[in-house]
Amino acid sequence: MFLTSNHQILEHVLGDRKFLKKSDKYKFLKPWLGNGLLTSEGEIWKKHRRLLTPAFHFEILQEFVQVFEKCGDILVERFQNEIGHSFDVYPYVTFCTLDIIYESIMGVNLNVQKGDSAEYVDSVHDMTRIMIERSVSPIQVHDFLYRFTKNYSTQKRALEHLHRQSTEVINARKKELQEMRNLGRSSKATKSKKVFLDLLLEARIDGRGLTQEEVDTFLFAGHETTASAVSFTLFCLANHPDVQEKALEEQRSIFPDENKMKVTHADLQSMKYLELVIKESMRLYPPVPIIGRQIPTDTKFGDKLLPQGDSLIIFSFGIHREEKYFEDPEKFYPERFERRDGKLPYGYIPFSAGPRNCIGQKFAMLELKSVVSKIVRNFELQPTFPVHELQLVAESTLKSANGVKVKMHPRKLNFAF
């Protein structure tokens, strides 16, 4: 494995269609995600990407805002139970982002924030941990030897649950569609709105359906990443009261009328300062801290030869903290992005870059703004005492082993939504 935070190598690799194949470490995710967009390659990837890209069109994203808002409201309600003491926001936020992904692109309302989906979340955690452990273990890397390890039986259990869950989502949507069709017969006015999952249910590529593997892929890629981003943004805001105050000022200017209850797509678009805050949080805490590609042919970079077939691991976390690209890199300073846009495109890559970048990045940005702004309007975020020291771990997404802890107090201001 060749781990790099070198900007020139990145520019070469991420921008070049020859380097589209993921590193062979991603094969450890295949029993779960199959040939979904994240793990597939070659023609299959190209066809899936072409088919799925229109589902993230600007106009379609606007329709999701009310889902973000509704799920964010439930999150705010749940935070009320934690007022005044230090607690880990991550599990709460994870259930919220799961609800969002289920309801927005899958079109099913499982309401996990009000119930309990701990087994799904734990299974995702097991699979991503096992993927990283297998990548670096001389024993577990071999399929045969792996069968004799504890991780193998953990994976078996996790997969059973994950696939059961995605089947449940698919069946729930099919049932809903059937009900809508039945209703449509009696009332012409009832027209079902198509969601991403419907596109998958209808699609056939080379005679093959792609529903389950893409449902698994988008459920995973669409909730763990955003949970990580929201949690670390809240942590940064709690520990930087001056930044939080500016973000709040912006909210006051967008919502001068406390009775205005409905947050629109245009409102989210106008949260320019909050966008800088989120960008800066993702610089310091990139939700996907490493990205892997396979080297297609022997390739020379300066005096180094990268042999064909080896894994090139792009260390986004390291790139984002390089002094060469970011002055005073450890400092949380959202304003740095006011001057930076357009410069050094591969020096800031929370969503990766080039043709294999994140298909859901615009969706993610809207979701993050909706959820974080709601929390800022409802709570004053404070640091814990003593200040919580994060223990960062990369389990395909960035987490903190000892949680992401903050304190919350209800805002006295009249931000009643």
Binding interface with ligand HEM (CB under 6 A): 37-38, 49, 105, 217-218, 221-222, 225-226, 229, 287-288, 291, 350-352, 356, 358-360, 363-364
Q: Are strands 397-400 and 204-205 parallel, antiparallel or unpaired?
A: unpaired
Report in angstroms how near the CB of residue 174 gets to ligand HEM at its nearest. 21
Nearer to ligand HEM, 7 or 411 (CB): 7
Q: Are 305 and 286 in contact (CB under 8 A)?
A: no
What burial class does residue 36 get, using C-beta atoms within 10 Å of its C-beta: 0-12 exposed, 13-18 middle, 19+ buried?
buried
> Considering only CA atoms, which of 209, 207, 216 is closest in space to residue 31?
216
Alpha-carbon gap, residue 148 to 101, rounded angstroms: 35
Cis bond leading into 91, ω under 30°?
Answer: no
Q: Are 153 and 147 in contact (CB under 8 A)?
A: no
Report in angstroms how near the CB of residue 219 gets to ligand HEM at its nearest. 9
Report in angstroms how near the CB of residue 410 gets to ligand HEM at its nearest. 27
358 is known to lie in a ligand binding site = yes
Report in angstroms how near the CB of residue 287 gets to ligand HEM at its nearest. 4
Nearer to ligand HEM, 263 or 349 (CB): 349
What burial class does residue 109 get, using C-beta atoms within 10 Å of its C-beta: 0-12 exposed, 13-18 middle, 19+ buried?
middle
Q: Given the structure tokens 């452990």, which residue do they identify?
A: 133
> b vs e for 202-221, b when ≥16 Cβ sit within 10 Å of the residue's Cβ?
ebeeeeeebbbbbbbbbbbb
Q: Given the structure tokens 């890199």, which residue do they identify?
A: 329
Report in angstroms how near the CB of residue 250 gets to ligand HEM at its nearest. 20
By beta carbon distance, the residue nearest ligand HEM is 360
What burial class does residue 11 get, using C-beta atoms within 10 Å of its C-beta: 0-12 exposed, 13-18 middle, 19+ buried?
middle
The pair phi, psi for residue 411, each rounded to 5°, is -75, 140
Alpha-carbon gap, residue 24 to 22, rounded angstroms: 6
Number of neighbouring beta carbons within 10 Å of residue 407: 19
Assign 135 to helix, strand or coil: helix
Nearer to ligand HEM, 135 or 225 (CB): 225
Report in angstroms how near the CB of residue 104 gets to ligand HEM at its nearest. 8
Report in angstroms how near the CB of residue 371 gets to ligand HEM at its nearest. 11
Nearer to ligand HEM, 255 or 358 (CB): 358
> Considering only CA atoms, which of 90, 93, 91 is closest in space to residue 75?
93
Tokens representing residue 29 in the block: 């995710």
Report in angstroms how near the CB of residue 160 gets to ligand HEM at its nearest. 23
Report in angstroms how near the CB of residue 301 gets to ligand HEM at its nearest. 19
Element (H, E) at 409: strand 405-410
> b vs e for 38-55, b when ≥16 Cβ sit within 10 Å of the residue's Cβ?
bbbeeebbeebeebbeeb
Report in angstroms how near the CB of residue 312 gets to ligand HEM at its nearest. 11
> Considering only CA atoms, which of 416, 328, 406, 332 is closest in space to residue 378?
416
Question: Binding site residues for heme, as ranges?
Answer: 358
Question: Binding site residues, as ranges?
Answer: 358
